[in-house]
Amino acid sequence: MRAALASAILLAGSGAAAQTQTPIQPAPAFLPHAGFHFQWAGLVANDIRFDWQGIVGIDLDVVEYGSGRATFSAEYEAILGHERRLYDLNHGNYRFEATGSYRVRGTEVALLTVHVSRHLSDREFPGAVSWNLIGARVGRRFERGPSAFDTQASFGFAGQQAFVDYHWIGDARVRWRHPVNARLDLISTGTGILIGVNEAVAGRPNLCGGRIEGGIRVNGTRAALELFAGYERRVDAFPGDRFRVRMFTAGFRLVTR
């Protein structure tokens, strides 16, 4: 979705005009942060294989070395439809990511490596759907009054592709958070993705997709509950298929603080 990617970049640009957060150099530490998130959402799509979405993941700051950090994250996404039964778990997506970063005046520049693997459930599919990605990411937080904008952009080259025709992948993300009071925040996130493909594999042009969502965040002592609704155009939504699925989503997300 070119519009979603453009919106994310424009939001990042508008955040650039805001006051940047004063950088604070953290002390070196081992495992200074461990995060967990769980999401459950209903999906409204014109494809009977997309009714529900469940996501569970962790993210770790493995080592903080003052000028940057080494991180690791893992996430599993399950998609349910009603193709064969009322709640039909038809496929799952695994994502593993490791980064090493360096901070420059409030901007974090990271080298990253990503592995994505997609698997069908209770269905025959000869072969595998997976790829690796090696690239870089730039992220920065901007503040305007009480609001905060977390922005990031990534670019990487795909390797060891199985089934997919991806050559490179670029994405941008902007997350806005505005506190209403000590317990309640307004939140919104926009993401966009562009994928360069090898036309010799499937004869199709470059791909674009994106997602936008908004909602509220209720802050607890050790965790927060986010209630959200959004719209997504997902590239190659089902493993083994080469087409997009458009869907509306609404659900909740539990995140550690």
pLDDT averaged per 10 residues in sequence order, the chain, 257 residues: 48 47 78 97 97 98 97 98 95 98 96 97 86 98 97 98 97 98 97 97 96 98 97 96 96 96
Instruction: Find all residues with CB under 8 Å of 239, minimum gap 6, and list them.
Output: 91, 118, 119, 120, 125, 129, 163
Domain count, the chain: 1
Q: Tell me if 177 sits within 8 A of 187, measured CB to CB.
A: yes
As a whole number of angstroms, the distance between CA 125 and CA 240 comes to 8
pLDDT at 84: 93
Parent domain of 62: 2-256
Residue 151 CA to residue 22 CA, distance in Å, equals 16
CA 31, distance to chain mean position in Å, is 22
Report the pLDDT value the prediction gives residue 168, as an integer from 0 to 100.
98
Of 41, 67, 73, residue with least CA distance to 54: 41
What local confidence, expressed as pLDDT, does residue 22 receive? Answer: 53
* pLDDT at position 124: 83
Residue 151: the pLDDT is 98
- On whether the CB atoms of residues 137 and 150 are closer than 8 A, the answer is no
| pLDDT value of position 141 | 97
| Domain CATH number, residue 209 | 2.40.160.40
What pLDDT score was predicted for residue 127? 81
